[in-house]
Structure 1
Amino acid sequence: MVTTTHTPVEAPTSMTRRQLLVLGLLLASQFMLAVDFSILNVALPTVGAGLGFSDANLQWIATAFALCAAGFTLLLGRIGDYVGRRRMFLIGMAALGIASLVGGLATNPTMLLTARVAQGLATAAVTPAGLSLLTTSFPEGPLRAKALGLNSVMMSTGFTAGAILGGVLTDLLSWRWAFLVNVPVAALVVGLAPFLLRDTAGRERSRLDIPGSILVTTGLLALVYGVTRAGEEGVTDPWAGLSVLVAVVLIALFWRAEGRHSHPLVPTSILTRRTIGWGNIAGFITFSMESSLVILLTMYLQHVLHLNPLQTGLMLGAMGLGAIIGGAAGPRLIQAFGVRRTLAGGLLVQAAFTVVLVALGPSNGWLWLLAITTFLGAIGHVAVIVGFMVAATSGLPDHEQGLATGLATMTQQVGVAMGVPIMSAVVTAVGSFEDLSALRIAIGVDAAVVLVAALLVATQLRSTKPASAAEELVPAHA
């Protein structure tokens, strides 16, 4: 009797030419989306003066985008499962290009805010669709980890590059180019995507959970609005408190409704998987605290040291360099130590180098400390993003990748949208953005939040042998 042995098929470790082209296309789109979150931050006063915004309404240029990008991500990510992710990606990119053109040509506040709302909705459509196309284009294992690592670099450096690019374009050309720069990139992506992208996952055939969609979307909108309002008006503002309360009620109702629905928008069982649940918590903390740190440092550089937008953007460039290293190191750290240690260790590094920034002083002599610490902290930050993306999308079949990437993208968008107003509320509670001591307190709070997250991930996310990161990602129910 002849016996045969079957050797396990190893996951490929090198990308094909097609995969490289797909990766390049999707990374370009993710980079552009990340840039949009921050490109107008340093240019807001210039935009407001150019179009006649009042001081009270100026913040809505950023808030209108953040509300839509965060509030509609989960819904539009799920709709992508029904209409096809490639189709949703193409529709979103085309809409983003058109909205950017409208924003660049805006002649009044209403036209600009309409463009920002459209940009936010387009971002909510493109980001989960692009991420799910990325995960389904690469098999789970080293290739997917490498792709997600590069994607994490694009997200983090895009946010930082937005601050740099916004300063450069505003100083050298016009704030309008902060919008118009998107148009040729969007056109190129839309032109190439039909030839390169394949949607391998089958479309969802069940009914869309309309009640759940309404509850979670309105809940997220209320949450982001309430926190943003608190950042602008202070934590004692009654509308801020009411909005947050309404958000808590709506999200609680959403959770209850999902447990009873035959085809829920988000099966509650998926969130009880520790890799997904704790991975998303780690992702939320690292995104919210790092994005708020960028704003705090922007205020420090402009209001305390009196640097111009261009100088401010260039000083924050050290973060981008650290992000590149963190993105390259992340997959290797996961392979060597596992997701839990990578997440906890990255958060610890981010917290350690954030707290050092509390020592910043009122003179330009402190710029060297800022450059070194933001460079090193960004390495830990992006390593966390890689671990978060791997944890949040692994151990699931292709037909559930839309759901998983929708959740991960929602975590990213809500984190970025909420981090800035939370830290703004801390600053305004103890002083102002011109007050160095208030900025120091906010930076200290930022570091403390990240440290607590590191300890929670280290103790709550399950541990397995680090020899195989894939083994560690097999979902375990809490």
Structure 2
Amino acid sequence: MSTVYQNPSIQQVFPLRWWALIVLSLAQFLVVLDASIVNIALPSLGTDLQMNTNMLSWVITAYVLPFGGLLLLGGRLADRYGHRRLFIIGVAGFSLASGVAGLAQSGTWLLAARALQGASAALLAPAALALVAKLFMDPRDRAKALGIWGAVAGIGSAAGVLLGGVLTSSFGWPAVFYVNVPIGLLVIAAIPFLVSKDIARERTSLDMPGAITVTAGIVTLVAALSQIEQGGWTSPVTLGLAGLSLVSLNAFIIIEKRVSHPLLPLAIFDNRFVLGGNLAMLLIGGATTGLFFALSVYMQQVLHYDAMKAGLTQLPLAGALVIIAGAIPAVVARMGMRNTLVISLLLLAGGLVWLAQTPSNATFAVHLLAPTLMIGIGLGGAFVVGTELAVHGVSDNEAGLASGLVNTSQQIGGAVGLAVLTTLSFIRTTDLLGGGALQAEALTGGYSWVFLGAAALSVIGAILVILIVRNHTNGEVID
């Protein structure tokens, strides 16, 4: 099934399409924001709900994991039942889960609400991006719209730390969840006036075995990586979960090759833009999730910034990201998507390596300002071009699939990246403490490994884009 827009105003009247983009982008902003906004709130949240450091990392993972694991299914459901319909259902579920999270009285309660948030986001995110792709059919308009969309994703990641600090300091940690509710209600009220109703086409069977196996594979993979911190690389639990993940993901691939209507038609990866864009977003997701988690905790645990100050220090990064994201479409027109993405990833990596040199007694102006500005520049380009690349050349009847796939790549990258990088941080911190280092120095050393690991992911992403993607600019492919 594919959403069909019969109202000519949606396709022909310029202002209405752009108003629709604003509303859809607002919903996407909430989805990305919620992966990072809780970072600043973690210390106070952990104190109130009696959650240790390991459980605090699961406040992030409990959201990212169902989000990434269910996105492919969400994209297919949107293609089958209607993009607008699934978008509204997703926003409603997300708003409800946010209110429940703000009311949490225990760690278990909060983690359950976060999981519901992630599952709802898996419905709304691919439906929203598919709506954007169908609202903007002209290549130049679509490039501008997807540029704005990618910029919103990047801004959401950066702004989460800023808004989390302001809200936590002013109103307490529940406010980082409550803020989603009125915005979600506004989106639900506005979208019926901007996007016409879905018209169903022939419905195909849903690939539930594929949905079950890919979700199980992703969940057990992240659980195995998270277990390393407690049991080590060779513990029975770690190895058992890793083995179960491998079996589940192999089963998923076998199923997708055999079913008549697969959840993920593997032929979509014949499109080298889609393949390269998704690999880039996978690694960008891992790098940025680890970055914002480690940076926010480092500022509060090591530098002893309060929530407000830690949040405000992200203003330069967010500002640089916004400015660069606005300029990226013009850069792509001149340099091409591949070259722009590669340069952006290398700038991101350079800023992360620079940030890894920050000492335990750092000051913001001397040690943090310049590398975070460089990171913002790199992120602005990477988010915009990575998203545009991942949906380039996709047919209308696979818009939901491609949209779900790029979001899946980013969220799986975030979940796996956070698990790996926080494990490396724990190992490094433990080694330094065992060697007699002071706690502040040991924590700083651990977080520096997170930044270096995130930089390595960015460099790998740049290399893969160079190897896979041909350059593309103004409708031409440049070999």
How does the TM-score come out when normalised to structure 2? 0.89
Does the C-alpha gap of structure 1 residues 291 and 297 become closer, same or farther in structure 2, counting only changes over 3 Å?
same
- Equivalent-residue separation in structure 2 for 1:403 and 1:147 (angstroms): 19
Which residue does 2:463 correspond to in 1?
A: 455
Query: 1:162 is paired with a residue of what secondary structure?
Result: helix
Matches for 1:72-221 after TM superposition, within 5 Å: 72-198=70-196, 203=201, 205-221=203-219
Unaligned runs of 5+ in 2: 1-11, 431-438
For residues 392-448 of structure 1, the C-alpha deviation after alignment (integer angstroms, 9 at most, x for no partner) is: 112122111011101011012112222222211111122258422232233223222
- Equivalent-residue separation in structure 2 for 1:365 and 1:52 (angstroms): 31
For residues 164-196 of structure 1, the C-alpha deviation after alignment (integer angstroms, 9 at most, x for no partner) is: 222222222121111111111011111111111
- Equivalent-residue separation in structure 2 for 1:126 and 1:424 (angstroms): 29
Does the C-alpha gap of structure 1 residues 125 and 231 become closer, same or farther in structure 2, counting only changes over 3 Å?
farther
Does the C-alpha gap of structure 1 residues 52 and 448 become closer, same or farther in structure 2, counting only changes over 3 Å?
closer
Does the C-alpha gap of structure 1 residues 461 and 152 become closer, same or farther in structure 2, counting only changes over 3 Å?
same
- Equivalent-residue separation in structure 2 for 1:48 and 1:299 (angstroms): 12
| Residue 336 (structure 1) shift | 1.2
| Residue 367 (structure 1) shift | 3.8
In percent, how many aligned pairs have the same letter? 33
- Equivalent-residue separation in structure 2 for 1:122 and 1:368 (angstroms): 41
Q: Is the 8 A contact 1:286 1:384 kept in 2?
A: yes
Does the C-alpha gap of structure 1 residues 462 and 55 become closer, same or farther in structure 2, counting only changes over 3 Å?
closer
Which residue does 1:278 correspond to in 2?
A: 276
Does the C-alpha gap of structure 1 residues 29 and 232 become closer, same or farther in structure 2, counting only changes over 3 Å?
farther
Does the C-alpha gap of structure 1 residues 454 and 174 become closer, same or farther in structure 2, counting only changes over 3 Å?
same
Does the C-alpha gap of structure 1 residues 233 and 143 become closer, same or farther in structure 2, counting only changes over 3 Å?
farther
Q: Is the 8 A contact 1:41 1:166 kept in 2?
A: yes
Which residue does 1:471 correspond to in 2?
A: 476
| Residue 366 (structure 1) shift | 5.2
Question: Amino acid of the residue matched to residue 476 of structure 2?
Answer: E
Which residue does 1:259 correspond to in 2?
A: 257
- Equivalent-residue separation in structure 1 for 2:231 and 2:33 (angstroms): 27
More divergent stretch after superposition (30-39 vs 53-62): 53-62
Question: Amino acid of the residue matched to residue 299 of structure 2?
Answer: L
* 1:397 and 2:395 matched: yes
Which residue does 1:412 correspond to in 2?
A: 410
Q: Is the 8 A contact 1:133 1:199 kept in 2?
A: no
Which residue does 1:49 correspond to in 2?
A: 47
Q: Is the 8 A contact 1:100 1:115 kept in 2?
A: yes
Aligned length: 458
| Residue 289 (structure 1) shift | 0.6
Question: Amino acid of the residue matched to residue 451 of structure 1?
Answer: V
- Equivalent-residue separation in structure 2 for 1:423 and 1:228 (angstroms): 10
Q: Is the 8 A contact 2:350 2:374 kept in 1?
A: no
Question: Amino acid of the residue matched to residue 302 of structure 1?
Answer: Q
Does the C-alpha gap of structure 1 residues 283 and 83 become closer, same or farther in structure 2, counting only changes over 3 Å?
same
- Equivalent-residue separation in structure 1 for 2:235 and 2:365 (angstroms): 36
Does the C-alpha gap of structure 1 residues 195 and 232 become closer, same or farther in structure 2, counting only changes over 3 Å?
farther
Q: Is the 8 A contact 2:210 2:256 kept in 1?
A: yes
| Residue 50 (structure 1) shift | 2.2
2:452 aligns with one of 444, 451, 459? 444
Q: Is the 8 A contact 2:289 2:414 kept in 1?
A: yes
* 1:25 and 2:23 matched: yes
Matches for 1:358-437 after TM superposition, within 5 Å: 358-365=356-363, 367-431=365-429, 434=440, 435=442, 436-437=444-445
- Equivalent-residue separation in structure 2 for 1:312 and 1:141 (angstroms): 40
Query: 1:262 is paired with a residue of what secondary structure?
Result: coil
Does the C-alpha gap of structure 1 residues 246 and 197 become closer, same or farther in structure 2, counting only changes over 3 Å?
same
- Equivalent-residue separation in structure 1 for 2:379 and 2:202 (angstroms): 34
1:336 aligns with one of 328, 334, 337? 334
| Residue 234 (structure 1) shift | 4.8
Question: Amino acid of the residue matched to residue 219 of structure 1?
Answer: G
- Equivalent-residue separation in structure 2 for 1:428 and 1:441 (angstroms): 9
How does the TM-score come out when normalised to structure 1? 0.89
Q: Is the 8 A contact 2:283 2:410 kept in 1?
A: no
Which residue does 1:240 correspond to in 2?
A: 238
- Equivalent-residue separation in structure 2 for 1:246 and 1:472 (angstroms): 42
Unaligned runs of 5+ in 1: 1-13
Question: Amino acid of the residue matched to residue 457 of structure 1?
Answer: V
More divergent stretch after superposition (85-94 vs 254-263): 254-263
Question: Amino acid of the residue matched to residue 305 of structure 1?
Answer: L
Q: Is the 8 A contact 2:40 2:297 kept in 1?
A: no
Does the C-alpha gap of structure 1 residues 284 and 140 become closer, same or farther in structure 2, counting only changes over 3 Å?
farther
For residues 177-219 of structure 1, the C-alpha deviation after alignment (integer angstroms, 9 at most, x for no partner) is: 1111111101111111111123678646221112212111211
More divergent stretch after superposition (222-231 vs 327-336): 222-231
- Equivalent-residue separation in structure 1 for 2:83 and 2:325 (angstroms): 25
* 1:288 and 2:286 matched: yes
- Equivalent-residue separation in structure 2 for 1:395 and 1:220 (angstroms): 27
Which residue does 2:323 correspond to in 1?
A: 325
More divergent stretch after superposition (442-451 vs 254-263): 442-451
- Equivalent-residue separation in structure 2 for 1:19 and 1:231 (angstroms): 48
Q: Is the 8 A contact 1:69 1:413 kept in 2?
A: yes
Query: 1:362 is paired with a residue of what secondary structure?
Result: coil
Q: Is the 8 A contact 1:31 1:155 kept in 2?
A: yes
Question: Amino acid of the residue matched to residue 472 of structure 1?
Answer: V
